[in-house]
Amino acid sequence: MSETIETCRLLYNDLLDDRIKNRTQCLAQKRTVTVVRNENKFLKAVHSQVVQDVVFRLDWSYRRFFASLSRKPRFKRRGRYNSFTYPQLGGFKVVGGRLRLSKIGLITAKLHRPIEGTQKTCTIIRDIDQWYACISTEAERSEKAEPQSETAVGIDLGILKLATLSNGRVFENLIRLRDSITGIKSLQGELSRKKKGSHNREKARIMLAKAWRRVRNQRLDVAHKISANLATEYSTIVFEDLRIPNMVRNHKLASAITDASWGTLRQLTVYKAERRGRRVILVNPSGTSQKCSGCGEVIPKGLSERVHDCPKCGLVVDRDVNAARNILKAGLEQARVEEQPLPVQRRRISKLVPMKQKAHGTEPVSSVPRVAHTKSA
């Protein structure tokens, strides 16, 4: 599996180089790879559909880049390409408690739940020293009887309090990074003292990566539990549309904001709410902490003031609860506006002048990918 990943990484880099220099498109690269695979022993040792999936993966990266959903595709160094995909059932099969992969063989696997439906794709993922198989299936959606709730809630995200709800409920932030930062700093110091290219440095790198993986899993565990609770109990969930990349520019709060994983919590809540037929609304965060949720009066206060005390209406409440109530009000107003039909004005559209069809040139010839290992993986 490691050799397959290394071959796919080298092929990805060669295809990216070909696309940058020769502007070769996906279909041309696909035909070229089919021809070259019969002449390259490394490509021939990998399943044909896995090789073709690398071409589609590069094309998908460019599509996301042109849609402004990700950065421009870059060359992958060792350790930055950690998965390969079998796009059809013929390349993989679950046999008892083992997974059969074409060109690799039988692998012992721990199935954490039975596979239901028709198996479609299988992605093999390497996470440091652990391997995962992500199998996607097609099955009829089972309608589970869940308690219907028509409750709407606004959520104010924070650092000490990870999420404060408009009804006064609070999800505390366990601050996972603070508990592990001492060990991580020690491992980082050991790594910096090792000689580059040595086996001891590789061992230290793996130990440091495992420490960070533990923190990452803890963050995901908290985010999954909170998002599942929110998507189950509330029909409408309102978040602030926070610009997190801009917020982490504050170096004093960047580490705490990153550790809180606001973006992950919001992303998990969105797909879980959609699966249950619920709704998630994003509102403008401007002024939600300064405005009084009772009378609407703007009361300026600093970050150190944790209690909202309105001199006009006499409302005294926790600062985060007040912000969550303002977020809920803004979300409900936005929902009502979206439900109203938009006014349509009738107007005469002039005839469009047909554009001259451009002559299509011949498709550029792709350069041959040069996949070759410098040493055995």
| CATH number of the domain residue 262 falls in | 3.30.420
**Separation CA 57–CA 30 (nearest Å):** 11
Q: 335 falls in which pLDDT band (50, 70, 90)?
A: confident
Instruction: Kindly state the average pLDDT of the residues 284-298.
Output: 85
pLDDT at 354: 46
Alpha helices of 143-234 — where are they, by DSSP H? Answer: 176-193, 199-233
Say yes or no: 59 and 103 in one domain: yes
Say yes or no: 102 and 43 in one domain: yes
Number of domains in the chain: 2
Say yes or no: 309 and 167 in one domain: yes
Say yes or no: 160 and 291 in one domain: yes
pLDDT at 268: 94
CA geometry: angle 273, 71, 3, nearest 5 deg: 90
User: Which residue in this structure is represented by tokens 């070259």?
Assistant: 36
Say yes or no: 271 and 157 in one domain: yes
**Separation CA 161–CA 168 (nearest Å):** 12
Say yes or no: 252 and 305 in one domain: yes
In a domain, 183, yes or no: no
In a domain, 189, yes or no: no
By DSSP bridging, strand 83-86 and strand 118-127 are antiparallel
In a domain, 130, yes or no: yes
Say yes or no: 84 and 107 in one domain: yes
**Separation CA 320–CA 30 (nearest Å):** 54
Say yes or no: 93 and 167 in one domain: no
pLDDT at 130: 93
pLDDT at 95: 87
**Separation CA 38–CA 314 (nearest Å):** 79
Instruction: Kindly state the average pLDDT of the residues 116-137.
Output: 93
**Separation CA 205–CA 79 (nearest Å):** 11
Query: Phi-psi bin for 293: left (phi > 0), alpha (psi -120 to 50), beta?
Result: alpha
In a domain, 371, yes or no: no
Rg (CA), the chain: 27
Q: Are 86 and 47 in contact (CB under 8 A)?
A: yes
Instruction: Kindly state the average pLDDT of the residues 92-96.
Output: 89
Q: Report whether pLDDT(364) > 50.
A: no
In a domain, 210, yes or no: no
pLDDT tens readout for residues 202-229? 999 999 999 999 999 999 999 999 999 9
Q: Report whether pLDDT(193) > 90.
A: yes
pLDDT at 339: 64
Residue 298 per-residue DSSP state: B
pTM: 0.77
Q: Which residues contact 301 (CB under 8 A, 6 or more apart)?
A: 289, 290, 308, 319
- Tell me the residue range of the domain where 12 lies: 2-138
pLDDT tens readout for residues 173-186? 877 788 888 899 99
Q: Which residues contact 168 (CB under 8 A, 6 or more apart)?
A: 318, 321
